[in-house]
Amino acid sequence: KVGGVEEPSWSLKLTGRILEEDGKDSVVGGVSKMESFLYPKFSAFFKKITVYLDQGFYPDNHVMVWDSARSSVQQDGFEVKRKGDKEFTAVI
If we measure between CA atoms, which residue out of 92, 43, 47 comes closest to residue 69?
A: 47
34 pLDDT tier (thresholds 50, 70, 90): low
Residue 70 is assigned to a structural domain of this protein: yes
This prediction has a pTM of: 0.73
Q: How far apart are CA 50 and CA 65, in angstroms?
A: 4
As a whole number, mean pLDDT of residues 34-46 equals 80
Number of domains the chain contains: 1
Residue 25 is assigned to a structural domain of this protein: no
Residue 69's SS3 state is: helix
Q: Residue 18 CB: number of other CB atoms within 10 A? A: 14
Residue 21 is assigned to a structural domain of this protein: no
Domain that holds residue 45: 1-11+38-92
Residue 29 is assigned to a structural domain of this protein: no
24 pLDDT tier (thresholds 50, 70, 90): low
Residue 66 is assigned to a structural domain of this protein: yes
Residue 57 is assigned to a structural domain of this protein: yes
What's the whole-number average pLDDT of the chain? 85
72 pLDDT tier (thresholds 50, 70, 90): confident
Per the model's pLDDT, the better-predicted residue between 19 and 28 turns out to be 19
Residue 60 is assigned to a structural domain of this protein: yes
Residue 31 is assigned to a structural domain of this protein: no
pLDDT at 17: 83
